[in-house]
C-alpha cells in the first residue's frame, strides 16, 4: 500500500480507535473533548460550517461586516466578536480556526494561525500566489505532528474520488501518461469596479481589502447570495485567481487525488489576452511531473473557460461535463465528473486482462464527513486529513505557477525545492504579491 492509500485507510480506521494515544482528548462526549474554535467569515461559506462546528465551543466570531453578527450569535451565543482577524487570533484559549474569508486573506490567516499553534481549516484556495502556498506549506510541515489542517475541498469526500484513484492506480488504463482537468465556468468582467457609494454602516471595507492594494468601494463586489458572493470578487487579481481558486480547486483535486504528484518541473500556458485587472477566463496550462514509485513521468493539463482537452473519441463529448477530469494511459482512458466515471479501453491489446478489480476489503474506505475528518484530527494527532496543507499546497502551487507561465508567455523550468523559475527571471517576480504596508504574510 502506498503512503497516500495508507493515510486514507489509517484515517478512517483511526476514527474508530477505542484506546487513544497519550495527549489525545477524552471520550467523544466529554466537555473536555470540545475544541475552542474561531470562525472567521461567519456568513456565506461560513454558514456551511455551522452544523459541523455545533458540537464544539465556538468562542470567537470574526467578520468585516458587523451586520452578520446577530444571526451568527443566535447559533453561537458564547462567542466574542471581532472585525479584524488578527485580533481574533490573539484570543486566549483558542484551539482551532475555520477561515471562510475572501481568497486574498487565506494564506495570511493560515500562517498566523499555525504560528500560534492553532489547527486550521481554510476554505479553498489555500493561497493566491506561489510564494504564499510555499510559506503556508512550510509552516505546517514543521508542525504537522501536532496540528491538523484541511483546505475546503469537501467534494473529496465523494466516493467517486476513490473509485477514480483505484482505476488509475490499479492499471485499468495501463501505465498513466497524462491527466487533464477542466472547468467551464465563464464570468467575464472588464476591470476593477469604479468608486460607487460608501460602505454601509458596520462594514469595514478597509479590513476586507486587508493586505491587497487599495481599491475604491463598490457594492458590486458584495452583491451575491450566501456562498456565491465569491463570484463577485474572485476574478480580480488582487482578490482571487479566478477559476483556479473557484471550481478549479475542486476539479483539480479529482485529478490530484489519483496521480500522487508533488511539484512540477515545468509549466507552460496560453490563454486570452492579458488583463492587468482580471484573471483570464479562457486559459490552459500544462505541467511536467517526474516519475514516482508507481508510475512514469506524466503531463498534467488544466483547462478553463472554454479551453478543453481533445476527446479520445468523437462519441465522448467532454463539453457535456462542466467540471471534469480525464486520465490517459497506455491502454485507455478514465473520464470522470465529481460523482461518476467511465472507463474507455483503447487499442487492440486493451483486453483488460492486465487489470484486477480490487477485493471488497481492499477498496478504499469512505472518508466520511469532510469537516468532521478535520475536527477528529484536531483532537487526535494520529489521524490524518485528506486535504492537508501539503497535498493542497502542492496542488495550488502548481496551478498558480501556470498563471505565472500564462503571464510571461514562456515555458518555465521550475525548481520545486527552492521555489524558483530557473530560465526566466521575470517569472520569479510574479511568484510573489505586493502587500499593503502593515500586513505581514507570516506574522
Ligand atoms: N468549499 C466550497 O465549496 C466553497 C463554496 C463557496 C465559497 N467557498 C470559498 O469560501 C470563501 C468565501 O466565499 P463567499 O462566497 O462566502 O464570500 P463572501 O464575500 O460572502 O464572504 C464570506 C464572509 O466572510 C466575510 N469576510 C470576508 N473577508 C473577511 C475578512 N478579511 N475578515 C473577516 N471576515 C471576512 C464576509 O463579510 C462574509 O460574511 C471563498 O474563499 C470561496 O472560495 C468555498
**Cα(365) to centroid of ligand 1, in Å?**
31
Residue having the nearest C-alpha atom to atom 42 of ligand 1: 230
The Cα–Cα gap between 321 and 319 comes to 5
Q: Could you tell me the distance, in angstroms and rounded to a whole number, from the CA of residue 62 to the centre of ligand 1?
A: 12
Cα separation of 123 and 35, whole Å?
19
Q: Which atom of ligand 1 is nearest to the CA of 42?
A: 39
Where on the phi/psi map is residue 180: left (φ > 0), alpha (ψ -120 to 50), or beta? beta
How many other CB atoms are found less than 10 A from the CB of residue 311?
Answer: 15
Q: Is the pTM of this model over 0.75?
A: yes
Give the CA count within 13 Å in the CB-facing half-sphere of 384: 18
Please provide residue 360's backbone torsions phi and psi, each rounded to the nearest 5 degrees.
-50, -45
Digitized pLDDT (tens) for each residue of the chain, 443 residues in all: 454 565 555 554 444 333 344 445 544 546 679 999 999 999 999 999 999 999 999 999 999 999 999 999 999 999 999 999 999 999 999 999 999 999 999 999 999 999 999 999 999 999 999 999 999 999 999 999 999 999 999 999 999 999 999 999 999 999 999 999 999 999 999 999 999 999 999 999 999 999 999 999 999 999 999 999 999 999 999 999 999 999 999 999 999 999 999 999 999 999 999 999 999 999 999 999 999 999 999 999 999 999 999 999 999 999 999 999 999 999 999 999 999 999 999 999 999 999 999 999 999 999 999 999 999 999 999 999 999 999 999 999 999 999 999 999 999 999 999 999 999 999 999 999 999 999 999 99
Q: Report the alpha-carbon angle 391-397-398, nearest 5.
A: 95
The position carrying cell 479562457 is 282
Alpha-carbon span 94 to 109, nearest angstrom: 14
Q: Rounded to an integer, what distance in angstroms lies between the CA atom of residue 431 and that of residue 341?
A: 35
Ligand 1 centroid to Cα of residue 40, in Å, is 9
User: What are the start-end ranges of the H helices in 85-151?
Assistant: 85-88, 106-115, 130-143
pLDDT at 223: 94
Cβ(392) to ligand 1 under 6 A?
Answer: no
Q: How far is the CA of 196 from the centre of ligand 1 (A)?
A: 22
User: Ligand 1 in contact with 63 (CB < 6 A)?
Assistant: yes
Atom of ligand 1 nearest to the CA of 221: 19
Amino acid at each position: 500500500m502506498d503512503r497516500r492509500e495508507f493515510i486514507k485507510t489509517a484515517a478512517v480506521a483511526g476514527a474508530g480507535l477505542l484506546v487513544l494515544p497519550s495527549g489525545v482528548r477524552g471520550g467523544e462526549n466529554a466537555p473536555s473533548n470540545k475544541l475552542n474554535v474561531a470562525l472567521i467569515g461567519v456568513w456565506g461559506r461560513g454558514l456551511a460550517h455551522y452544523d459541523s462546528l455545533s458540537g464544539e465551543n465556538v468562542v470567537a466570531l470574526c467578520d468585516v461586516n458587523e451586520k452578520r453578527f446577530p444571526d451568527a450569535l443566535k447559533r453561537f451565543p458564547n462567542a466574542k466578536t471581532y472585525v479584524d482577524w488578527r485580533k481574533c487570533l490573539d484570543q486566549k484559549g483558542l484551539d482551532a480556526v475555520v477561515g471562510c474569508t475572501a481568497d486574498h486573506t487565506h494564506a495570511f490567516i493560515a500562517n498566523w494561525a499555525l504560528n500560534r499553534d492553532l489547527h486550521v481549516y481554510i476554505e479553498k484556495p489555500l493561497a493566491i500566489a506561489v510564494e504564499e502556498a510555499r510559506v503556508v506549506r512550510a509552516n505546517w510541515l514543521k508542525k504537522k505532528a501536532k496540528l491538523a489542517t484541511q483546505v475546503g475541498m469537501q467534494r473529496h469526500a465523494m466516493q467517486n474520488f476513490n473509485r477514480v484513484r483505484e482505476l488509475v492506480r490499479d492499471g485499468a488504463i495501463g501505465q498513466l501518461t497524462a491527466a487533464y482537468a477542466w472547468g467551464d465556468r465563464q464570468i467575464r468582467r472588464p476591470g476593477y469596479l469604479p468608486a460607487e457609494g460608501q460602505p454601509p454602516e458596520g462594514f469595514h471595507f478597509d479590513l476586507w481589502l486587508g493586505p491587497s492594494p487599495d481599491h475604491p468601494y463598490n457594492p458590486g463586489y458584495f452583491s451575491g447570495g450566501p456562498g456565491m458572493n465569491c463570484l463577485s470578487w474572485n476574478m480580480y487579481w488582487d482578490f482571487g485567481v479566478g477559476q483556479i481558486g473557484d471550481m478549479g480547486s475542486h476539479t483539480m483535486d479529482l485529478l490530484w487525488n489519483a496521480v500522487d504528484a508533488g511539484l512540477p518541473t515545468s509549466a507552460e500556458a496560453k490563454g486570452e489576452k492579458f488583463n492587468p485587472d482580471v484573471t483570464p477566463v479562457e486559459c490552459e496550462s500544462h505541467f511536467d511531473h517526474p516519475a514516482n514509485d508507481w508510475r512514469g513521468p506524466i503531463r498534467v493539463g488544466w483547462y478553463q473557460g472554454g479551453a478543453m482537452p481533445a476527446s479520445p473519441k468523437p462519441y465522448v463529448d467532454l463539453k457535456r461535463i462542466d467540471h471534469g477530469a480525464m486520465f490517459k494511459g497506455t491502454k485507455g482512458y478514465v473520464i470522470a465528473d465529481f460523482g461518476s466515471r467511465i472507463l474507455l479501453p483503447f487499442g487492440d491489446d486493451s483486453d483488460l486482462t492486465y487489470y484486477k478489480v480490487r477485493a471488497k476489503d481492499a477498496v478504499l474506505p469512505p472518508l466520511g464527513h469532510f469537516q468532521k475528518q478535520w475536527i477528529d484530527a484536531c483532537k487526535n494527532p494520529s489521524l490524518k486529513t485528506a486535504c492537508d496543507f501539503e497535498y493542497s499546497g502542492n496542488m495550488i502551487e502548481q496551478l498558480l505557477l501556470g498563471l505565472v507561465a500564462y503571464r510571461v508567455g514562456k515555458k518555465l523550468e521550475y525548481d520545486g525545492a527552492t521555489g524558483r523559475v530557473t530560465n526566466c527571471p521575470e517569472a520569479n517576480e510574479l511568484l510573489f504579491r505586493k502587500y499593503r504596508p502593515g500586513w505581514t504574510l507570516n506574522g
